[in-house]
Amino acid sequence: MKLKELESCLQQVDTFEEPKILLEQYPTSPHIAACMLYTIHSTFDDIEGKLVADLGCGCGVLSIGAAMLDAGLCVGFDIDEDALDIFRRNAEEFEICNVDLVQCDLCCLEAEAYAKKFDTVIMNPPFGTKHNQGMDMKFLRAALTMAQTAVYSLHKTSTREHIQKKAKDWGVKMEVIAELRYDLPASYKFHKKKSVDIQVDFLRFSKT
């Protein structure tokens, strides 16, 4: 499947009907999702035939994209039942059967229960703003426990040095694969602008 084809399929994935601010629910744009997945697939060969976890999967755009790129199985983890209902509906509409869902709070997850159970972990975690300070790092910690090979994640460019230091402390290698502009549409009442550009790093973490 070509990148353009993947992106056009992902444009048909339904997103949040009523996003929950406390969960920092913002959709991953089809463009960013397709670019992430296509890179993971074509450059690193970390999707096809692999067992993939999608942390904070929301409505499933990354999981569905991974399934389209022939992941062996993609398991989406999310705390929010409403988001998972939309995910289920999306999977049914695309007639995708190589996805599974787990409803749980990743911060309270017995990470050991899933230790090294997945080849690859993909995620667009909460950036840890406003109410969720440090949430991005909790997601990253869980992801690193769960992955055998690599973790792919989006993080604000402004936090790069902090994450680099943490990765070093944890004995993992961090690579900046790309710098992206994340166009965040106004989703909540407090948003004054129609959309805002955030500089985001697309990172790959692997065991050193």
18 is a domain residue: no
**84-112 tens-digit pLDDT:** 999 999 999 999 999 999 999 887 877 67
> For residue 139, is it within any domain?
yes
Q: Which domain holds residue 35?
A: 25-207
1 assigned to some structural domain: no
Residues 123, 135: Cα–Cα separation, whole Å: 13
Distance CA 17, CA 25 (A): 10
Does residue 15 belong to any structural domain of this protein?
no
* Domain total in the chain: 1
Q: Which pLDDT score is estimated for 75?
A: 97
User: Which position has the token pair 């690579």?
Assistant: 175
Whether 125 and 135 have beta carbons less than 8 Å apart is answered as yes
Distance of alpha carbon 80 from alpha carbon 127, whole angstroms: 17
Quick check: is 19 in a domain?
Answer: no
pTM for the model: 0.88
Q: Does pLDDT of 19 surpass 70? A: no
Write out pLDDT tens, residues 172-202. 999 999 988 766 554 444 445 555 677 889 9
Residue 196 lies in a domain: yes
The pLDDT of residue 186 is 47
| pLDDT at position 119 over 90 | yes
Residue 138 lies in a domain: yes
**CATH number, position 147:** 3.40.50.150
Classify residue 32: in a domain, yes or no: yes
What does residue 119 show for φ and ψ, rounded to 5 degrees? -70, -45
